[in-house]
Structures are given as C-alpha cells and as structure tokens.
Structure 1
Amino acid sequence: MEKDTTIFGIRAVIEAIKSNENIDKIFIQKGLRGELSLELEQLLKKERINFSYVPIEKLNRLTKKNHQGVVAQIAPITFYDLDNLVMNVIESGKTPLFLLLDQLSDVRNFGAIIRTAECTGVSGIIIQKKGGAPINGDTVKTSAGAIFNIPICKVDHIKDAVFHMQASGIKVIAATEKTDKTLYDVSFKEPCAIVMGSEGKGINPSVLKVVDELAKLPVLGEIESLNVSVACGALLYEALRQRR
C-alpha cells in the first residue's frame, strides 16, 4: 500500500532523518536562516541526503500546509543494496539484465521506464542519489504499480555502478547517438547492464568513457532522437528478443 510521501516543517524533517525514514529528496527554501535550518543542513550533508534550494513558490505547490521553508519526499519503497542485489541475481542462475539511469529528471519518463523494465524481466534499476527524478506518488502511478515489483538501488555516481557491474562480469552498454553501432549490432545475450541518459544531456561523458559498448537506435525521421522511455523500451525488448 502506498503511504503519504510528503512531510513538511524543519523539526519534522530532522526527526524523520534521525528515525531513518527513507528520505528520497528534500527541498529547502532559498535564503532560509536560523539555528534549526542550519542543523538540518548539517544533518543532510552528514547523511548524504539529496536536497536542493528552491523558491518558496515550489514549496507552496508541494503542500498547502505551513512548511516552514522545508518539504521532504519519502520514497514509497525500500531501496536495495547494490552489492547484495547483484550477488543474489548472479547466484539465482538467471542471466542478469540491469538498467542504469544517469540522472533521468522527468518523473513520468521514470515511471514509464520502470513499468517497461518490470515487463521485460530487468533484474534491477540503479539510479544516482542526486540530480534524478524523485520517487513519489507520481512515479508510482506512472509505473502502474510496477515500482513495487522491481528492485531499485541508489549510488553516489552512476560510474560506481558501472565499475561494480564490470567487476561482477556484467557487460555495460550505453545507449547513445555517439556511435555508428546500432542496438542490433550488440549482443544482449550475456549478463549485461544498459545505461540510459537524462532527457536533456544524455549520458555523462565521464560515464561513456568507462562503459564496454555503445549502441544507438536508428532514426529515419527529421527528429534526431526518441523520448528516453521509448528508447529504453526498444533496447529492453531487443534484449528480450535475443534472449528468447
């Protein structure tokens, strides 16, 4: 069952963090001052929790209550540990197929990708702690509930996940237009992980440098690229086709 994913108020957010609530993202009003707000910011940095400074108008859109300049979003799921997830998938005897999302920012794209990933048997989804779309009620709705059926992990940087996959014998394939090789030229039959980039910037260049293969989708129209959730679906179903 989905729980309330929004809490507000400086003290309430501080207590939620200290109680090990599964905080996904925190929004702090720009220019907020005071001893309590300073305590919150120090706690956020200590616990390495994703937060951003926003105008008060955004906070007012997130809640109509007296938020005191702070609104937190609690993830409606429990995140998995990457080490344990990869080990469990390998030990299960199934051929791993992971999905790495490099700072995907649109909640609806995120939810759609989760839905497709669940339908195509993806072993788990790895996202970055900072800079990506939050996991909230909209994500749950767009995923049609699939978010509760697929493991999701958070890492400090997507490169951390890339290196972990490679060390575990899992090939990492990046979806990018910066290659002549199409997805039909790449083998998805062995253990592999697919990296998808953000809507505006694509995959970080530092990530592209460390992956094993690059693959693009052929585009015949005037528009140069596909929506990221559509592109991800094409890649996942090509992987499924090859494995069947």
Structure 2
Amino acid sequence: MEESTVNKRPPLRRSAPVETENDGIIEGRNAVIEALRAGVTIDKIFLLKGDTDATLGHIASTAREQGIVVVDADRRKLDGMSRTHSHQGVIAQCAVREYASVDDILAAAREKGEPPLIVVCDELSDPHNLGAVIRTADAAGAHGVIIPKRRSAGLTAVVAKTSAGAVAHVPVARVPNLTALLKELKEEGIWVFGTAAEGTTSLYEADLKGPTAIVIGSEGEGMSRLVAETCDFTVSIPMFGKINSLNASAAAAVLLYEAVRQRRSV
C-alpha cells in the first residue's frame, strides 16, 4: 500500500513574507496582497470596517475566492493587533501549517487499524484552549481535531506554542458547518459524544471503545443548540467540588483518557 501523506505532515510554514512576525501577523496592503499571491496559508484577514477603498475591496474579494475568512474590524481592534502601527486597514493572521481534510483524519485511523477517535471543538475562541486540546489529542493518540471555520481560534502561532509543537503531528481540519459535519461522521458509523454539565450519560457509562467523536463546547456557552441536538449522547463529567465545570481543554483531556483506558482494556 502506498504510504499516505497523513503521516507526512508538512513542517511549520516558513513561506510568509518578511513582514510576518513570530505571532503570524502580516499587516499592510502590499504585504497582505503578496501573501495572497504567494499562497501563504492565511487563517483570517481583518479589514477596517466601513472602509470602501478599492485596494481593500480587492483584498477582500481575493481572500474570499481562496476560502479565507474575512472579518470586519474597528480601528481599535486593528491597532491592538498591529506590530508596526501602520496596518493600513488590513491585517492577515497566518496559519502555522495547512489544514487537513476530514478524509485525512479518517484515513489516519484506517491506516493504524483503529476505530476513529476524533475531537470536535465547537467554537473554541481561546487559542490557549485550542492549543491545549491539540496537545492532549496527540498525547492520547487521537486521529485528529476538527474546528469550525468561523467563531473559532485557528492554527495560529499562539495555538502552536501552547500545543508544544503537537500541531505538527495532529491533523486539524476546518469545516464550514459543524452540524453538517457531525451528520456526515454519523453516516460513517462514528458515534458522537458531546460534553455537557447536564449530560444524560455519565462519563463512566459512555462506551468510547468504538468509532468516536468527542465534541467540546465553547468556553462560555458550551455546545451550541444544533450541535448538541446532533450528538448521539451528551456526557457529563462527575464533579465533587464547589466548582461545577472544567475548562474546555481539561474536559477534553478527561474524555480522551477515558477513551484510552477503555480501548486499552479491550
């Protein structure tokens, strides 16, 4: 069998223009246009809200054609992100590596002869949490992580640093619609377990030995309604102290290692 590219992930990208700082920021009109032309993997582009300049309009249309998320931002937001203090109304946030596809993740499980173990992050906006989830996914042997295209942290330099380099080893896919994605996973025979404080299944009653997708909700609101309704099971983690919840990355770690425990005991 020909060796899959899943296990040959590219290294952290080094193709961004020199204007890219260590945090993956490219700012200024010419620098962003050049990055788009060069095919640099860009996570999001932030444009000054209300500016009708033709150059910014060209940047926005080119970015959308390439499937890049374009976000309207006020001047305060851009000024806060800027490193050069001359952003000219546009800042691009680069991804440190290219995104995988969902098929890549499923192929990785097949090649290892293992039932899929996938983490799905529902709008985790904190890059430190996403990085920690990716790090734990690598440690637990999960086959990949899936995030939504919007309202989520991406594969930024902060995520890479927090993951302790795990982004170089764990396939991360980005999809436009999580609800549709979960339905597709279910059609592939994967059981979907969502984490929720009011979950109807206790952690230690959940059967995570088979093909499994674990859904982790956002830091503040948990899973969105449609995502929660699409899950096969909602799982609650027993809490015995004064605090009634764990943060997203801690919850992911608990469920992933319960899956590891169950699979190793088979």
- TM bin, normalised by shorter chain, reads over 0.9
Alignment match, 1:59? 78
Deviates more, 1:16-25 or 1:191-200: 16-25
Q: 1:69 aligns with which of 89, 92, 98?
A: 89
The alpha-carbon deviation at position 47 of structure 1 amounts to 3.2
Q: Is the 8 A contact 1:98 1:122 kept in 2?
A: yes
1:213 matches 2:195: no
- Change in CA separation of 1:18 and 1:164 when aligned onto 2, cut-off 3 Å: farther
Q: Is the 8 A contact 1:126 1:161 kept in 2?
A: no
Alignment match, 1:152? 172
Where does 1:98-177 land on structure 2 (aligned, <5 Å)? 98-177=118-197
Cα deviation digits, residues 62-109 of structure 1 (max 9, x gap): 233221111101111111121233134224312210010011010111
Aligned-partner SS, 1:159: helix
1:80 matches 2:80: no
Residue identity matched to 1:221: G
Alignment match, 1:48? 67
Q: Is the 8 A contact 2:201 2:233 kept in 1?
A: no
Q: Is the 8 A contact 1:182 1:215 kept in 2?
A: yes
Q: Is the 8 A contact 1:98 1:192 kept in 2?
A: yes
Q: Is the 8 A contact 1:14 1:40 kept in 2?
A: yes
Tell me, in whole angstroms, the C-alpha distance in 1 between the residues paired with 2:242 and 2:105. Answer: 41
How large is the Cα RMSD of the aligned pairs? 1.7
Q: 2:58 aligns with which of 35, 39, 51?
A: 39
Q: Percent identity?
A: 36
Where does 1:185-204 land on structure 2 (aligned, <5 Å)? 185-204=205-224
Residue identity matched to 1:22: T
Alignment match, 1:28? 47
Tell me, in whole angstroms, the C-alpha distance in 1 between the residues paired with 2:233 and 2:200. Answer: 11
Residue identity matched to 1:92: K
Q: Is the 8 A contact 1:105 1:131 kept in 2?
A: yes
Tell me, in whole angstroms, the C-alpha distance in 2 between the residues paired with 1:140 and 1:180. Answer: 34
Q: 1:19 aligns with which of 38, 46, 60?
A: 38
Runs of 4+ in 1 over 6 A off after TM superposition: none
Cα deviation digits, residues 96-152 of structure 1 (max 9, x gap): 100100110101111111111110001000011111013222111111111111101
Tell me, in whole angstroms, the C-alpha distance in 2 between the residues paired with 1:40 and 1:210. Answer: 37
Residue identity matched to 1:54: A
The alpha-carbon deviation at position 21 of structure 1 amounts to 2.0
Q: Is the 8 A contact 1:8 1:71 kept in 2?
A: yes
The alpha-carbon deviation at position 165 of structure 1 amounts to 1.3
Deviates more, 1:172-181 or 1:188-197: 172-181
Tell me, in whole angstroms, the C-alpha distance in 2 between the residues paired with 1:32 and 1:220. Answer: 52
Cα deviation digits, residues 167-211 of structure 1 (max 9, x gap): 211111111123232111100001111000111111111111112
Deviates more, 1:171-180 or 1:94-103: 171-180
Q: TM-score, normalised by structure 2?
A: 0.86
Tell me, in whole angstroms, the C-alpha distance in 1 between the residues paired with 2:83 and 2:143. Answer: 39
The alpha-carbon deviation at position 44 of structure 1 amounts to 3.1
The alpha-carbon deviation at position 7 of structure 1 amounts to 1.2
Alignment match, 1:7? 26
Residue identity matched to 1:90: R
